[in-house]
Amino acid sequence: MSDFRPDQIEPKWQAYWQKNKTFKVEEDLSKPSFFVLDMFPYPSGSGLHVGHVEGYTATDIMARFKRARGFDVLHPMGWDAFGLPAEQHAINTGTHPRDTTVENIATFKGQLQALGFAYDWDREINTTDPDYYRWTQWIFLKLYEQGLAYIAEVPVNWCPALGTVLANEEVIDGRSERGSHPVIRKPMRQWMLKITAYAERLLDDLELIDWPDHLKDMQRNWIGRSQGAEVDFKVDAASANGLDANIRVFTTRPDTLFGATYMVLAPEHPLVDDLASDAQRDAVIAYRDEAATKSELQRTELQKEKTGVFTGAYAINPVNGARIPIWIADYVLWGYGTGAIMAVPGHDERDWEFAKAHDIAIVEVIAGGDVTQAAHTGDGELVNSDFLNGKAVADAKKTIIAWLEERGLGQGTINYKLRDWLFSRQRYWGEPFPILHREDGQVVPLPEEQLPLTLPDVERYQPSGTGESPLATIDAWVNTVDPRDGTPARRETNTMPQWAGSCWYYLRYIDPHNDEAPVDPEKEKRWMPVDLYVGGAEHAVLHLLYARFWHKVLYDIGVVSTPEPFQRVVNQGMILGVTYQYFTSPEGEALSYKEVGARTDLSPATIPADQVEWKNEVPFHPEHGVELEEIVEKMSKSRGNVVNPDDVIAEYGADSLRLYEMFMGPLEQTKPWNPRGVSGVHRFLSRVWRLTAAEEGLSDTIVDAEPTDDMLRHLHRTIKKVTEDTEALHYNTAIAAMMEYVNFLYKLDTVPRALIAPLVQMLAPYAPHTAEELWERLGHESSVINHLWPTYEEKWLEDDSYELAVQVMGKLRGEITVPKDADEEAVVALARQNEKVEEHLAGKTIRRVIFVPGRILNFVAN
């Protein structure tokens, strides 16, 4: 017997794998292919925490398992390395973002290698490598050629302090997520991608892929398909300084047009300035400026107070000629629909609340509720609606749409909540656009042979102060000529968002060194679509939606052969950290158990766990009756509850960390980190080691003997359970099955070698370092990963006996163990040996025996 020493075993096998390129993709066309993919990380300065490790371990297990099952497996890793954090670090420290990125990647790569992940590092990619972003730029040019990339003036989240546009998700309560700087809404010239042109296909093709229903629903809700009508409301020129204009709205409820008692425009709507009366102009301007400081999430929050300002102008309801007021309100967004709505307060809760707040008329047009008390949003017959009266809602919709179309006042249409993708960022550290703005006003693409257009080396990264990126200040790079005819031109100074490189990276893994195309067509056909894609739920909508959009464009132009990129997607659950609620002194000093004593001048506070110095094993003070509570919450540096995998590896080894994270619970479930759990699985691995290994070679308990039938039944049931659960990503129950098997082996005086080898093979995807060492000690010269997965035989899954219920006069009196092939006479004899059964048969005459093999034995007696 020898001690289990991960600190010696793990570096040995990591060096072996690296030297021998054990995980290099074979490209063996005789084998079925399996592409398993991680959502590649942004290499931040803080490195990995144990939450990241969960998803990477899950894919690594599947990659190793599939390889052992005879598949040619592609399991790559790379870096999503463009983005704002590296640029902000450059501004703060003067370090080039490229240097920061290289340093961070080295940290991440070292951590991943220390965990023993089976990546083919020859396929490593980096989105900031010009050889990579050359093809990101090439794809953008294809989008441009297809009319899917265009320039527009659109309202954006502008952060003056960061000097860039931010996505909605990067704005929290009107401030930037990074740095908490004020963010305002302002119109700016931006590159847009026409993702809306693919809205219907993005919806329909969800039926082609194996994703969780909730994930598909999130995509459907984001796209937001709705059927209704566009309706034109004529501006009452007399109330709007003679303005001759129509305001178009989209509504899913054209049947309620007779109940429209006011209109609401987004504060950014281009007609607002012309509509505002002299009396209302100052209020309109003030309200619009205030709305510009709010994020879209704040503006559309359902629970918020419904604010707005009357413009002073009116519109004409096209169905009844009614003159209705035009308001602006921040809950209507310019860019959603038409940026204007017709408001029907009798039958829309938000409109009802707004009408009540601002004393606007409420008209009932659907019978069935009391609109003076609340909006009636249910079904019913039309009332107060002229030619629609008495109709059901569905019929009324058809009738009013036909009526509008006949008179040129509107038309039936399908609308989407999805908006075109704002694709510009005003920063340095991103892919340059391969676009030239010629002196003659033409906007032209850079010729493909001039790709990649690389970033210039600069010494300062501060924003230009004009709303343009830092690239705008580099005259030698910006000023150029169109290579086609020498016309003076300026380069596009915006850069692409971080999303760009991550939209297609999975394809580059297939053919990472191709200088002629983003991917070879034959290789693409072999590997696509991705069989399993695992990552965090935070990417459930945007990244997946954007990648699907780009993939469909590439499909349309013949670059890829599948309509969807990811056949199966799994979101791993979040791993939560722990902080502690306990007492501090009034001065804020953290106190230990003994220091609390009998003091009463204490206050509860949440203190990061790494700041707590416990001086008593039991976190409880009997005099105060207050237990120190563990608070489970999301891991973050600010909470001080981040667990570094390096620390866990140093104490328990990488295999224990991998095994624990998979044993915590179902992969998709959110789970709290428990350091005691790591020690538990470490003990399990130690038991496997002690069972198998000696100081040199194998334990004396391992013998070359034939297993008994009972041993083989335990083995083959375990193989079946671990195989099926691993295939289904039920890793926690697969580990539990191996634990039960080890418990069985410990009951044996000696263990036949034939029982140990399959255990090591099953353990290999989960605890690969330990398995490699034990496999070598079992006498194998090549890596365990090169050997096929053990198989089970059906005959060993069946019991040679079963439990049988025994009744006397129909009442259960006992249970007996019966040999599988026992006949009725033998079963009766066994039953008569059961004390409880015999007790109830005493003094009775058995008239009849009812025996149903495998189910029941019943004595009929009196």
Distance CA 700, CA 692 (A): 8
Q: Any long-range contacts for 606-609 (C-beta under 8 Å, 24+ apart)?
A: 606/579, 606/580, 606/581, 606/631, 607/579, 607/580, 607/582, 607/640, 608/579, 608/639, 608/640, 608/641, 609/577, 609/578, 609/579, 609/580, 609/640, 609/641
Known binding residue 637? Answer is yes
Distance from first CA to last CA of the chain, Å, rounded?
63
* Nearest alpha carbon to residue 824 among 795, 846, 799: 846
Ramachandran quadrant class, 262 (left: phi over 0; alpha: psi -120 to 50; beta: rest): beta
Burial of 838 (0-12, 13-18, 19+ CB in 10 A): middle
Alpha-carbon distance of 376 to 368, in angstroms, equals 7
Q: Could you tell me if 77 and 119 are in contact, meaning their C-beta atoms sit under 8 angstroms apart?
A: yes
Cα angle 408-412-417, degrees, rounded to a multiple of 5: 125
Q: Residue ranges of the alpha helices (H) in 693-798?
A: 709-727, 731-746, 753-763, 768-777
> What amino acid is encoded at 549 in this protein?
F
The mean of the pLDDT values for the chain is 90
The three-point CA angle 159-148-231 to 5° equals 85
What is the rounded CA–CA span in Å between residue 494 and residue 205? 33
Instruction: Using a pLDDT cut of 90, give the percent of the chain over it.
Output: 72
| Angle made by CA atoms 538, 539, 541, in degrees to the nearest 5 | 110
Assess contact for 745 and 691: CB atoms under 8 A: yes
Signed CA dihedral, 65, 70, 71, 77: sign only? positive
Contacts of 652 (CB under 8 A, 6+ apart): 6, 678, 679, 682
Q: Which residues, listed in sequence order, are joined to residue 807 by a DSSP beta bridge?
A: 812, 858
pLDDT band at 365 (very low <50, low <70, confident <90, very high): very high
Query: Rounded mean pLDDT of 511-534?
Result: 97
Kindly tell me the burial class for residue 626, based on how many C-beta atoms sit within 10 Å of its own C-beta (0-12, 13-18, 19 or more): middle
157-166, 168-177, 414-423, range with greatest mean pLDDT: 414-423
Higher per-residue confidence, 674 vs 102: 102
Residue 83: what pLDDT? 87
Nearest to 41 by CA among 143, 124, 150, 165: 124
d(CA 368, CA 255): 15
Cβ–Cβ < 8 Å for 651, 47: no
Task: Characterize the bridge pairing of strands 184-193 and 421-422.
Answer: antiparallel
Task: Report the distance separating Cα 818 and Cα 834, nearest Å.
Answer: 12
Q: Residue 354: CB partners within 8 Å, gap ≥ 6?
A: 264, 306, 308, 329, 343, 345, 360
Answer with the residue of higher pLDDT: 648 or 614.
Answer: 648
Q: Residue 598 pLDDT > 70, yes or no?
A: no
Output the six-digit token pair for 59: 């894919």
531-559 pLDDT tens trace: 999 998 888 888 999 999 999 999 999 99
pLDDT(293) > 70:
yes
Which pLDDT score, from 0 to 100, does residue 464 have?
Answer: 66
Tell me what pLDDT residue 26 has.
87
Exposure on the CB side of residue 750, measured as CA atoms within 13 A: 12
Query: Which token pair is 547?
Result: 């990648």
Residue by residue, what is the 3-state secondary structure of 9-36?
Answer: HHHHHHHHHHHHCCCCCCCCCCCCEEEE
Q: Positive or negative CA dihedral for 196, 201, 207, 211?
A: negative
List Cα–Cα distances, 70 to 30, 33, 729, in angstroms.
10, 9, 18
CA gap 377, 93 in Å, rounded = 57
Two tokens at 795?
Answer: 């005959």
Q: What confidence score (pLDDT) does residue 610 get?
A: 47
User: Can you tell me the distance from the alpha carbon of 587 to that of 603, in angstroms, rounded to the nearest whole number?
Assistant: 10
Q: Given phi > 0 = left and psi -120 to 50 = alpha, else beta, which region is 339?
A: left
Average pLDDT, stretch 653-667? 96
Q: How far is CA 822 from CA 287, 403, 493, 816, in A?
A: 89, 82, 86, 12
Cβ proximity of 152 and 190 under 8 Å: yes
The rounded distance, in Å, linking the Cα atoms of 508 and 501 is: 10
Query: Could you tell me the domains of the chain?
Result: 33-127+503-571 (3.40.50.620), 142-220+421-491 (3.40.50.620), 225-415 (3.90.740.10), 575-641 (no CATH), 648-796 (1.10.730.10), 800-861 (3.10.20.590)
Dihedral sign (CA 492, 498, 502, 503): negative
Q: Residue 34: pLDDT above 70? A: yes
Per-residue pLDDT band for 292 (boundaries 50, 70, 90) equals: confident
Question: Would you call 608 helix, strand, or coil by DSSP?
Answer: coil
How large is the average pLDDT for residues 13-18?
97
Give exposure, 667-701, as e/b (b: 16+ Cβ within 10 Å): beeebbbeeebbeebbebbebbbbbbbeeeebbeb
Residue (of 361, 422, 538) closest to 152 by Cα position: 422
Query: CA-CA-CA-CA torsion for 427, 433, 435, 437, nearest 10 degrees?
Result: -10
Q: Model confidence over 679-705: pLDDT tens digits?
A: 999 999 999 999 998 878 888 889 999
Residues 584, 603: contact at Cβ < 8 Å? yes
**What residue type is assigned to position 116 of the chain?**
G
- Which of 27-36, 38-47, 156-165 is the least confident region? 156-165
CA torsion sign for 147, 150, 155, 159 is positive
Instruction: Output 802 or 778, whichever has higher pLDDT.
Output: 778
Q: Where does the pLDDT of residue 819 fall: very low under 50, low under 70, confident under 90, or very high at 90 and above?
A: confident
Type and span of the H or E element at 193:
strand 184-193
Which one-letter amino acid corresponds to residue 773?
Answer: E
The mean pLDDT value for 158-169 works out to 77
DSSP-derived letter for residue 528 is P
Cα 290–Cα 292–Cα 295 angle in degrees, nearest 5: 110
Q: Which two tokens stand for residue 132?
A: 């990579």
Confirm if 571 and 212 have CB atoms less than 8 A apart.
Answer: yes
Give the pLDDT confidence score for residue 468 in this predicted structure: 79
Q: What is the pTM of this model?
A: 0.84
C-alpha span between 208 and 686 (Å, rounded):
45
CA–CA separation, 91 vs 97, rounded Å?
9
- Per-residue pLDDT for 652 more than 50? yes
Q: Annotate 781-823 with DSSP letters as a single string.
A: SS-GGGSPPP---GGGGS-SEEEEEEEETTEEEEEEEEETT--
pLDDT band at 613 (very low <50, low <70, confident <90, very high): very low
Q: Which amino acid is at 308?
A: G
Residue at token pair 């224990």: 656
Alpha helix stretches (DSSP H) within 161-292: 199-204, 213-223, 272-275, 281-291
Cα Rg of the chain, angstroms: 35
Q: Is the pLDDT of residue 732 over 90?
A: yes
The strand pair at 410-416 and 421-422 is best described as: unpaired
